[in-house]
Amino acid sequence: MDSGMISKIQKAKQYAEERERIHFKQFSVEVDGGHRTHLVTYEGGKWGCDCSFFQQRGVCSHTMAIERVLDAMLHPVETADA
């Protein structure tokens, strides 16, 4: 392995440890729920989910789970308008 690659690996480890460097703008993920798979989205600080609970309340177990997984890397967190 060359010194350039070693440097990149070290930098990647540093970035992973300093999570405040990472800022999500948008993404979508699938969450395997108890009855079916749900599509969770995040765009511009707003959550979305295709489950009926989210459509009524603007938050659900699927969005809350992803928030927990990503911890403090999402700034600011808002719910979508119901």
Helices (H), 20-81: 52-57, 61-70
For residue 11, what pLDDT band results from cuts at 50, 70 and 90?
A: very high
CA end-to-end span of the chain: 52
Could you count the other beta carbons within 10 Å of the beta carbon of residue 49? 24
The domain locations on the chain are 24-82
Block residue for tokens 């970035």: 15
Give the Cα separation of 24 and 17 in Å (integer). 16
What DSSP state is assigned to residue 71?
G
pLDDT in tens, 21-38: 888 889 999 999 999 999
The C-alpha atoms of residue 78 and residue 6 are separated, in whole angstroms, by: 39
